[in-house]
Amino acid sequence: MRVIEENGNSLGILKKDEALKLADSRNLDLVEISPNAKPPVCKLLDYGKFKYEQLKKDKQARKNQIIIVVKEVQFRPNIDKHDLGIKLNHAREFLEKGFKVRFAIKFRGRELEYKEIKSKVLIDETMKALSDIGEIESPPATEDRTIIFQMQPRKK
């Protein structure tokens, strides 16, 4: 097997017994890095320290990940102006905090007959109220009895 030191210098090709004795004499572990290579590649290192460093790298990578959260605001087509204003204020707060906001206009019964007219009015009002802080990410789409569209915060 090909043996590599901690600092990356190659010690050449050694037998397994020799490599284990060398690792033991240096108080290090012999770790197989590439088992499929011909000959297999092993490295002399402190395995506990190696695992700790890997854990730190993984933790740092997870910390740097951006988590996208989508908040949802639901309303019906017969919503009162004041209630719509409150829902839009909540959506504004979400957009200011950097969240994406999904709007769902839910229709029931006879409301479905006026789906296009009512939804167009509500969508236009929503766009007008939030156009300064957000932009459309996905245009209005119909899913069963619901019209859904999504806004994201404006890029600064």
Give the CATH number of the domain where residue 14 resides: 3.10.20.80
Report how far residue 126's alpha carbon sits from residue 134's, in angstroms, rounded to the nearest whole number: 10
Using CA atoms, how far residue 135 sits from 72, 130, 132, in Å, is: 15, 8, 8
Report how far residue 84's alpha carbon sits from residue 126's, in angstroms, rounded to the nearest whole number: 9
Query: What is the structure's pLDDT at 152?
Result: 92
- The model's confidence at residue 7, banded by pLDDT at 50, 70 and 90, is confident
Using CA atoms, how far residue 112 sits from 32, 63, 76, 118, in Å, is: 65, 46, 11, 9
Q: Judge whether residue 88 has pLDDT over 90.
A: yes
The residue written with tokens 């959506």 in the block is: 91
Q: Judge whether residue 90 has pLDDT over 90.
A: yes
Are residue 75 and residue 110 in the same domain, yes or no? yes
Are residue 42 and residue 96 in the same domain, yes or no? no
* Count of the separate structural domains present in the chain: 2
Calculate mean pLDDT across residues 102-121.
86
What's the CATH code of the domain at 75? 3.30.110.10
Calculate mean pLDDT across residues 124-147.
89
- The model's confidence at residue 87, banded by pLDDT at 50, 70 and 90, is very high
Report how far residue 9's alpha carbon sits from residue 59's, in angstroms, rounded to the nearest whole number: 29
Report how far residue 13's alpha carbon sits from residue 11's, in angstroms, rounded to the nearest whole number: 7
Q: Judge whether residue 119 has pLDDT over 70.
A: yes
Are residue 104 and residue 134 in the same domain, yes or no? yes
Are residue 97 and residue 149 in the same domain, yes or no? yes
Query: What is the structure's pLDDT at 65?
Result: 80
Query: What is the structure's pLDDT at 110?
Result: 83
Are residue 106 and residue 133 in the same domain, yes or no? yes
Calculate mean pLDDT across residues 22-43.
89
39 upstream amide cis, omega within 30 of 0: yes
* Sign of the dihedral defined by the CA atoms of residues 124, 130, 136, 141, in that order: negative
Are residue 80 and residue 140 in the same domain, yes or no? yes
Are residue 76 and residue 147 in the same domain, yes or no? yes
Report how far residue 151's alpha carbon sits from residue 100's, in angstroms, rounded to the nearest whole number: 6
Are residue 59 and residue 97 in the same domain, yes or no? no
Query: What is the structure's pLDDT at 156?
Result: 67
Are residue 146 and residue 100 in the same domain, yes or no? yes
Are residue 56 and residue 85 in the same domain, yes or no? no
Q: Range of 36's domain?
A: 2-63
What is the bridge-based pairing of β-strands 2-4 and 41-45? parallel
